[in-house]
Amino acid sequence: MFEIRVICDLTDTDRVTTALSSTFATGAIRQYPTRDGQRTRLYATADHRPEPGPWPTPRQAYADAPSIDQEIGWAVRTTAEAECFTELDRAYYLRKAALLDRIALLDEPDEPRDATETAEAAAVMLLDTDKSAGGRYHGRGYWPEHPAAEANPRGYVRQEYAQWWAKEGRAQHRAALLAAGCCPNCAWPQHQCTCADHPDA
Give the pLDDT confidence of 140-174 residue by residue, as tens digits.
788 888 889 999 999 999 999 999 998 888 788 77
Report the distance separating Cα 110 and Cα 85, nearest Å.
39
Q: Which residue has the higher pLDDT, 187 or 2?
A: 2
Read off the pTM.
0.68
The answer to whether the beta carbons of residues 41 and 7 sit under 8 Å apart is yes
Q: Which residue has the higher pLDDT, 152 or 192?
A: 152
Report the distance separating Cα 94 and Cα 74, nearest Å.
13
Which of 168, 144, 174 lies closest to 156 in space, CA to CA?
A: 144
53-73 pLDDT, tens per residue? 789 999 999 998 999 998 999
- The greatest distance separating any two alpha carbons of the chain, rounded to the nearest whole angstrom, comes to 71
Chain-centroid distance, C-alpha 50: 20
Which of 170, 166, 152, 164 lies closest to 52 in space, CA to CA?
A: 152
Q: Rank 11-15, 44-48, 55-59, 197-201 by mean pLDDT and report only the highest.
A: 55-59
Report the distance separating Cα 146 and Cα 60, nearest Å.
21
Q: Specify the pLDDT at position 136.
A: 60
The answer to whether the beta carbons of residues 68 and 102 sit under 8 Å apart is yes
Report the distance separating Cα 107 and Cα 99, nearest Å.
14
Residue 135 has pLDDT above 60, yes or no: no
Q: Rank 18-27, 74-83, 101-110, 116-125 by mean pLDDT and report only the highest.
A: 116-125
Report the distance separating Cα 46 and Cα 163, nearest Å.
24
Number of H helices, E strands in the chain: 8, 4
